[in-house]
Structure 1
């Protein structure tokens, strides 16, 4: 008898079965034991045979999930330690500041000035201008929300199924905003004797704010296609009109038409007790006026920058890169 007898070996027991697509069947002993997978013996619950690449991908995903849980736990522990140190030092943390912000509502404010934005111009705007108008609504709300003395803010003519309403609805939770949203127009909501419609074309100058008045800002983004429309509509209804005292305090080099956000923030700062000149210099884009007080003249009169800045009714394009310019990314503006 030979010392090394030949042993017949079935080659099928050594080679994995292949279906021609580089898919293999793995024996139970070869199944990885590190992270748990939703497959057994290289097969899914449906009995599908997985490729080696797919199995590696699933293993990697399972391992990543386990590491993510550990990482999040470590981050929570770091936050707790950081907050504990802040408490020892008497530092107010973000959670406490957020609670203070939530408690800072219009009904608790000592500011009695009321401002309503009139969005009764849905049919006059293009879809892209509706979107810009909606972004300005978001910015106005944010400015008021973060103020120490929020104004009584109203959005009017937000009708059901209107384009401005549909655009506003894209902001999750807008119904919980600290702002009064009305379907009715402003003239059906407020005493007519208290209404003051703001328009850059008005001959009346607004030198001080009346807490018993309701100041209306036109919510129209039209890029000067409907010049003087807000003044015309207000005068037809017999309402008082006024313009901001821009030229009385600074030398303008462009037309005195502003965005919804600019007009609102000016009213907000003045209602907080700040002087006109300081407020205008702080809020308006720098290129709207000359620091040396000289007015820019041209044969055709003052010019308005032709840019993509969103504008209000009688508030036309203003300078790009202003302190209040809205970025295209929706995440640049946070709401509370």
Structure 2
């Protein structure tokens, strides 16, 4: 506070008007000048500061890679329906050409509708264990679901479809979300189990198939349910299926690959290939035929030479062995539109 005082010089005389002016100046100077902060209450000023911070804060920015993914996904969604329509037209043209030329293209749609597992003479029961949702990256989850599509398709087109179960699916999990993209998937001729296979079958019924097992599967037992691990991990989790089965005291077995064929690569097969070998075996084929007709040529599988006859080994690329499988490959080379059940989409 600043005070102004005026004192008259000694011997000077002041008028009444001058005294009044001095007193008024002293009164004005005695008034306290308010601070700027006191003009606005503190809680209001704080709210204004917070509001200013929220309004001026920049929104989170996406990286170039994320933007590229979003753009690519949007383009795919736009072209998806158009691509599906072109594939259907191509399939119709292929069937029409085959009809004119008299080339067999496998069972018709009407036959496929009637080809149900509950009417099949097959005793084969298989469950795909999908309780590995959290161990796969998104890319491998998509590959896993693609194998499920192939398993469903090859089973649907078989003359003896197996009793097929998809188990261990987590509701709204990543596998479930990818499955939802296939319209009508819930109407497939498959038993959908949203819990572990161990809760649906007893330990005496279960045989977990894994390449790490010491037991060899010699034949299909109609009283057993064969579990195949639905895991795409590029061998990152080696021995995981075997360890899980042992912790649950389950019986394990492996396919007799090395007993019937020689392979250039390791004997670990995909979920789809394991299922197809079992399916071909249930149709009456031998182990050697089922294996050579199913596994990819890149694995370089060759039939083991017979010690008794000395017959030279034949590979799964030879015409003699693959003659019948070539016809199966034509009928099983399913277009994308057939991956969705036609009895649902029609």
TM-score range, shorter chain: 0.5 to 0.7
- Residues 119/290 of structure 1: CA separation in 2 closer, same or farther (3 Å cut): closer
Matches within 5 A, 1:256-335: 256-291=267-302, 330=336, 333=339, 335=341
SS at match of 2:213: coil
- Asked if residue 117 in structure 1 is aligned to residue 118 in structure 2, the reply is no
Q: Distance in 2 between matches of 1:116 and 1:223?
A: 21
- Asked if residue 220 in structure 1 is aligned to residue 210 in structure 2, the reply is no
Cross-structure match for 1:102? 113
CA RMSD across the alignment: 3.1
- Asked if residue 150 in structure 1 is aligned to residue 182 in structure 2, the reply is no
Deviation of residue 169 (structure 1)? 0.8
Larger radius of gyration: 2
Deviation of residue 292 (structure 1)? 7.5
Q: Distance in 2 between matches of 1:153 and 1:293?
A: 31
Once the two structures are superposed, what CA deviation does each residue of 1:281-317 show, in whole Å capped at 9, x if it has no partner? 11111232344759xxxxxxxxxxxxxxxxxxxxxxx
Cross-structure match for 2:179? 168
Once the two structures are superposed, what CA deviation does each residue of 1:91-135 show, in whole Å capped at 9, x if it has no partner? 9x99x9321210110110011210000000000000010001010
Q: 1:231 aligns with which of 213, 217, 242?
A: 242
Deviation of residue 262 (structure 1)? 0.4
Conserved in 1, the CA contact under 8 Å of 2:260 and 2:303? Answer: no
Q: Distance in 1 between matches of 2:140 and 2:340?
A: 21
SS at match of 2:182: coil
- Asked if residue 185 in structure 1 is aligned to residue 196 in structure 2, the reply is yes
Which consecutive unaligned segments of at least 5 residues does structure 1 have?
1-78, 295-322
Q: Distance in 1 between matches of 2:277 and 2:340?
A: 21
- Asked if residue 132 in structure 1 is aligned to residue 133 in structure 2, the reply is no
Once the two structures are superposed, what CA deviation does each residue of 1:232-288 show, in whole Å capped at 9, x if it has no partner? 000010000000000000012111100111000000000111100011111111232
SS at match of 1:196: strand
Q: Distance in 2 between matches of 1:333 and 1:142?
A: 6
Cross-structure match for 1:251? 262
SS at match of 2:228: strand
Q: Distance in 1 between matches of 2:189 and 2:338?
A: 20
Q: Distance in 1 between matches of 2:169 and 2:340?
A: 22
Moved over 2 A (4+): 289-294, 329-336
TM-score, normalising length: structure 1 = 0.60
Conserved in 1, the CA contact under 8 Å of 2:133 and 2:170? Answer: no
Which consecutive unaligned segments of at least 5 residues does structure 2 have?
1-92, 306-328
- Residues 134/281 of structure 1: CA separation in 2 closer, same or farther (3 Å cut): same
Conserved in 2, the CA contact under 8 Å of 1:195 and 1:215? Answer: yes
Q: Distance in 2 between matches of 1:201 and 1:210?
A: 20
Residue correspondences, number: 220
